């Protein structure tokens, strides 16, 4: 279950984003997007293709600068897990983790590597070349690298897109565990059911504009909920976009 | 940056086939080019049929016996001769491709050379199906004929000069088995001068003898310079060779510099382009440049690693060549290192620019390979051997790519060729900065 839903007291704000704008020539990829995320909160970023999800995550991660707006935390305090595993396939799991721990200037790289291997359940595959791992395990290494510096905020760009259902379930078990431990997780996904199931809040982006920020239930309510007939979350999402001209 | 260096070395260590190819390919290519440059083209095979019977190959030329066989080496120098038993066999050798041309010496060549009244004609037959080969054969045959003609002409000149000397100073000739003394113009004039001195002034005989004496004086003076005139007729234009600037390095030594430059070019450009493109292909680039390492730092790391690896390979190649094949001055090792280091750095900067533009390992490798071959080829085209516009275009290509300045630096460093080492090194440093700037711009669309 999402961590924020079970918290007794309101969690402190871990991330504040205000007025993010990004242009590529004449095209506006993001128009003044802003939101807040609490510590331990799971925030899903959903929207149609070209909505600006990856652009927003890459700005939050510090990969590209915004044309306007600000992010409350510097990139060093935000862990980033790209959609494609950003790992060296010729290096072993442990070597990949050790390399990035050193580049992140983690105080005790070996201890951080050991902790991540234990946390991701990859201790028995530590010596294996990443290129020989399954897609699910490779994604676990990818996430482990994002977590090496123990960031308070973790960004996941479509983390389950290349995984089979079993690997997907394991991934979400791991991610919700992180949130329960206090890490704020912001993830983008095309699978709106995943957003409904695992997110405390969803952000709906379309054409670079933030159309909605609230719980999945609030999104369903925004389009009339069950009152307008039985409808699953995906249908509500599509209707929501349709009603707003997208 | 050292962790990235170690990471790349680990990746290279785990790709032994790739590393072996990267090292072996440029070294083999460099050695082949070096060998081709130092040896020049091989001797062409020529079929020769000499129709002159062996006993008739010596002929009399103004009382001197001349053996025509002595002049054959001039005709067959720098060609591999296949002796044919008949004219048909010689032509067949050409038809079958065993020989590039057939040279047939006619049976009357000795007679004609002896009389000097009719010019002897040598028959040359070649296969015209390949225009390049035909042009090569024509030039070889023409050059060999010129050598043979020059040698015969020297012989004629020598014999004629002997007769002129005899006319001037006297001597002996053999006529019908008897040695006949010849007085000579100078001795004749001395006798004449004595006779004239004893005749009374105004004597009609004295007047007539004075006329003969003046003719003798004039003949002596003119025949005195006839040897020079004969030499001029035999060889109207003499050539005095002077090297003005440029390279005076022996071809073998120059080939060593070419081999080192070629291996440096291929290994460094391919390695640097591949290493940078790999960061994107592994999707690690974006992760690295979000605060872990600067984009320029990443480029510098790739340049340093590629340059260091290729410098070691090129240095090993030079040391190997120096120990086993050619004489190199190992006391100049610091200069070798300077030239290799700057050349490798410039090539590596070119490599990361290509890697940044291509963005994928395969595309980067292909681009590096496609670009390296013509760069090396164009830099080896001798200046002035192509037309003006093409020459200018080649000069521009040589100036904007690091191969030519690397070759110049290595030639100075290894062979003590004329010119300073500083100029090509500065050129290489400028190219390194320019290519790094291009690579940095290319990284804007790299992630």
pLDDT band at B417 (very low <50, low <70, confident <90, very high): confident
Model pLDDT for residues A24-73, shown as the tens digit of each residue = 988 999 999 999 999 999 999 999 988 899 999 999 999 889 999 999 99
- Which H/E stretch holds residue B175? strand B171-175
pLDDT band at B30 (very low <50, low <70, confident <90, very high): confident
B278 burial (CB, 10 Å; 0-12 / 13-18 / 19+) is buried
Model pLDDT for residues A145-177, shown as the tens digit of each residue = 998 888 999 999 998 887 788 878 888 888 899
Using CB atoms, which residue from B282, B289, B293 is nearest to A88? B282
The percentage of chain B sitting over the pLDDT mark of 70, rounded to a whole number, equals 87
Residue A7, pLDDT above cutoff 60: no
Between B205 and A5, the higher pLDDT residue: B205
Asked if A85 lies within 8 A of B14 by C-beta distance, the reply is: no
Looking at B240-387, list the stretches that DSSP marks H as alpha helix, in order from N- to C-terminal side: 251-281, 285-289, 295-324, 333-358, 361-379
Residue (of B349, B234, B232) closest to B302 by Cα position: B349
Between B74 and B263, the higher pLDDT residue: B263
**Long-range contacts of range B427-431, CB-CB < 8 Å, 24 or more positions apart?**
B427/B399, B428/B342, B428/B343, B428/B345, B428/B346, B428/B402, B429/B342, B429/B346, B431/B346, B431/B349, B431/B350, B431/B400, B431/B401, B431/B402, B431/B405
Q: Quick one: DSSP state of residue B142?
A: H
Residue B225, pLDDT above cutoff 60: yes
Which residue, chain included where needed, has tokens 């909605």? A212
Interface test with B, best of A57, A73, A90, A104 (most B CBs within 10 A): A90
Residue B36, pLDDT above cutoff 80: no
**Is A149 touching B (CB cutoff 8 A)?**
no
Looking at residues B276-297, what average pLDDT do you find? 90
Residue B114, pLDDT above cutoff 90: no
Dist CA B332 CA A56 (whole Å): 58
Model pLDDT for residues B320-354, shown as the tens digit of each residue = 888 877 888 899 999 999 999 999 999 999 999 99
Domain ranges, ordered by start, for chain B: 2-39+251-445, 45-160, 180-229
A contacts of B10 (beta carbons < 8 Å): 90-91, 95
Rounded to 10 deg, the angle between the B226-234 and B204-224 helix axes is: 40
Shortest Cα–Cα distance, B21 to chain A (Å): 18
Interface test with A, best of B18, B281, B286 (most A CBs within 10 A): B286
Dist CA A16 CA A202 (whole Å): 15
Point out the least confidently predicted range of A120-124, A219-223, B387-391, B397-401.
B387-391
The phi, psi pair for B386, rounded to 5°, reads -125, 170
**Is A28 touching B (CB cutoff 8 A)?**
no
Q: Which domains does chain A have, with CATH numbers?
A: 21-73+152-246 (3.40.50.300), 87-149 (no CATH)
Residue (of A168, A175, A139, A169) closest to A154 by Cα position: A175
Q: What is the pLDDT of residue A5?
A: 44
Dist CA B133 CA B135 (whole Å): 5
Interface test with B, best of A102, A104, A131 (most B CBs within 10 A): A102
Residue B389, pLDDT above cutoff 80: yes
Between B421 and B134, the higher pLDDT residue: B421
Asked if A90 lies within 8 A of B447 by C-beta distance, the reply is: no
Asked if A63 lies within 8 A of B290 by C-beta distance, the reply is: yes
Q: What is the pLDDT of residue B433?
A: 97
pLDDT band at A103 (very low <50, low <70, confident <90, very high): very high
The CATH number of B45-160, from 3.20.20.80, 2.60.40.1250, 3.40.1710.10, 2.130.10.10, is 3.40.1710.10
Q: Quick one: DSSP state of residue B236?
A: S
Q: What is the pLDDT of residue A147?
A: 87
Looking at residues B290-304, what average pLDDT do you find? 93
Q: What is the pLDDT of residue A2?
A: 47
Contacts of B88 (CB under 8 A, 6+ apart): none
Point out the least confidently predicted range of B3-17, B214-228, B246-260.
B246-260
pLDDT band at B291 (very low <50, low <70, confident <90, very high): confident
Looking at residues B278-284, what average pLDDT do you find? 91
Which residue, chain included where needed, has tokens 């997110």? A199
For all residues of chain B together, what is the average pLDDT?
Answer: 83
Most confident of A92-106, B121-135, B364-378, B384-398: A92-106
B88 burial (CB, 10 Å; 0-12 / 13-18 / 19+) is exposed
Q: How far apart are the first and last CA of chain B?
A: 19
Residue B120, pLDDT above cutoff 50: yes
pLDDT band at A234 (very low <50, low <70, confident <90, very high): confident
Most confident of A235-239, B384-388, B436-440: B436-440
Residue A196, pLDDT above cutoff 70: yes
Between A226 and A87, the higher pLDDT residue: A87
pTM for the structure as a whole: 0.72
Query: Does ipTM come in above 0.85?
Result: no
3-state secondary structure of B290: coil
Torsion angle (degrees, nearest 10) of CA B227, B228, B233, B235? 120
Q: What is the pLDDT of residue B61?
A: 66
Asked if A82 lies within 8 A of B286 by C-beta distance, the reply is: yes
Q: Which residues pair with A153 in a beta bridge?
A: A78, A184
Per-residue tokens: B47 = 């079929």
Dist CA A241 CA A235 (whole Å): 10
B contacts of A76 (beta carbons < 8 Å): 291
A202-235 b/e (C-beta count within 10 Å ≥ 16 → b):
bbbbbbbbbbbbebbeebbebbeeeeeeebebee
**Is A90 touching B (CB cutoff 8 A)?**
yes
Alpha carbon distances (Å) from A59 to A14, A64, B44, B238: 17, 5, 70, 79
Model pLDDT for residues B49-105, shown as the tens digit of each residue = 888 777 777 777 666 677 767 766 766 666 788 888 888 998 898 888 888 888 888
Q: What is the pLDDT of residue B77?
A: 67
| CB-CB contact of A83 with A143 (8 Å) | no
Dist CA A54 CA A186 (whole Å): 12
**Is B289 touching A (CB cutoff 8 A)?**
yes
Residue A3, pLDDT above cutoff 60: no
pLDDT band at B244 (very low <50, low <70, confident <90, very high): low
Q: What is the pLDDT of residue B247?
A: 52
pLDDT band at B39 (very low <50, low <70, confident <90, very high): low
The percentage of chain A sitting over the pLDDT mark of 90, rounded to a whole number, equals 53
Chain A, window 95-134: residues with a beta carbon less than 8 angstroms from a chain B beta carbon: 95, 99-100, 102-104, 129
| CB-CB contact of B3 with A102 (8 Å) | yes
Shortest Cα–Cα distance, B293 to chain A (Å): 8
């Amino acid at each position: 279950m999402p961590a924020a839903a079970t918290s007794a007291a309101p969690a402190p704000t871990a991330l504040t984003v205000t007025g993010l704008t990004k242009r590529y020539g004449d095209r506006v990829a993001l128009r003044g997007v802003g939101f807040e995320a609490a510590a331990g909160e799971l925030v899903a970023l959903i929207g149609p293709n070209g909505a600006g999800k990856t652009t927003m995550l890459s700005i939050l991660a510090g990969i590209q600068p915004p044309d306007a707006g600000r992010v409350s935390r510097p990139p060093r305090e935000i862990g980033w897990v790209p959609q494609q595993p950003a790992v060296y396939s010729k290096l072993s799991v442990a070597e990949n983790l050790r390399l990035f721990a050193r580049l992140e200037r983690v105080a005790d790289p070996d201890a951080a590597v050991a902790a991540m291997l234990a946390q991701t359940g990859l201790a028995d595959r530590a010596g294996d070349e990443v290129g020989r791992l399954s897609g699910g395990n490779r994604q676990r290494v990818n996430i482990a690298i994002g977590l090496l510096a123990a960031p308070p905020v973790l960004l996941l760009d479509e983390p389950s897109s290349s995984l089979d259902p079993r690997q997907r379930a394991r991934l979400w078990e791991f991610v919700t565990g992180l949130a329960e431990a206090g890490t704020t997780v912001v993830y983008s996904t095309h699978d709106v059911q995943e957003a409904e199931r695992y997110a405390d809040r969803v952000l709906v982006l379309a054409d670079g504009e933030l159309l909605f920020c609230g719980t999945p239930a609030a999104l369903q309510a925004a389009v009339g909920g069950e009152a307008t007939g039985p409808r699953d979350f995906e249908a509500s999402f599509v209707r929501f976009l349709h009603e707003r001209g997208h | 940056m050292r962790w990235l260096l170690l990471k790349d070395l680990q990746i290279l260590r785990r790709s032994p086939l790739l590393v072996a190819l990267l090292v072996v390919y440029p070294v083999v290519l460099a050695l082949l080019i070096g060998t081709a440059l130092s040896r020049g083209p091989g001797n062409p095979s020529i079929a020769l049929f000499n129709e002159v019977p062996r006993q008739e190959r010596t002929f009399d030329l103004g009382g001197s016996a001349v053996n025509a066989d002595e002049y054959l080496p001039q005709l067959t120098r720098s060609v591999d001769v296949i002796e044919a038993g008949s004219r048909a066999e010689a032509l067949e050798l050409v038809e079958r491709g065993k020989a590039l041309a057939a040279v047939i010496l006619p049976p009357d060549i000795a007679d004609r050379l002896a009389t000097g009244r009719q010019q002897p004609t040598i028959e040359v037959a070649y296969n015209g199906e390949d225009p390049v080969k035909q042009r090569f054969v024509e030039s070889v045959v023409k050059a060999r004929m010129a050598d043979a003609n020059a040698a015969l002409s020297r012989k004629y000149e020598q014999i004629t000069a002997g007769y002129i000397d005899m006319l001037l100073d006297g001597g002996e000739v053999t006529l019908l088995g008897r040695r006949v003394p010849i007085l000579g113009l100078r001795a004749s004039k001395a006798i004449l001068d004595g006779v004239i001195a004893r005749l009374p002034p105004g004597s009609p005989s004295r007047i007539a003898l004075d006329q003969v004496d003046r003719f003798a004086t004039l003949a002596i003076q003119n025949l005195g310079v006839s040897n020079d005139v004969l030499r001029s007729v035999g060889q109207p234009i003499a050539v005095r060779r002077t090297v003005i600037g440029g390279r005076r390095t022996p071809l073998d030594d120059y080939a060593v510099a070419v081999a080192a430059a070629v291996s440096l070019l291929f290994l460094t450009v391919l390695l640097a382009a591949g290493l940078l493109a790999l960061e994107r292909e592994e999707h690690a680039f974006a992760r690295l440049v979000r605060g872990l390492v600067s984009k320029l730092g990443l480029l510098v790391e790739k340049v340093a690693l590629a340059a260091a690896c290729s410098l070691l390979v090129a240095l090993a190649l030079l040391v190997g060549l120096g120990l086993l094949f050619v004489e190199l001055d190992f006391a100049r090792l610091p200069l070798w290192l300077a030239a290799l280091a700057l050349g490798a750095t410039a090539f590596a900067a070119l490599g990361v620019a290509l890697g940044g533009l291509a963005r994928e390992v395969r595309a980067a490798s292909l681009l590096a390979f496609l670009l390296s071959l013509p760069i090396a080829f164009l830099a080896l085209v001798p200046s002035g051997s192509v037309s003006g516009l093409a020459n200018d275009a080649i000069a521009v290509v040589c100036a904007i790519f690091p191969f030519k300045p690397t070759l110049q630096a290595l030639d100075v460093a290894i062979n003590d060729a004329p010119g300073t080492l500083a100029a090509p090194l500065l050129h290489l440093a400028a190219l390194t900065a320019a290519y790094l700037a291009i690579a940095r711009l290319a990284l804007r669309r790299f992630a």
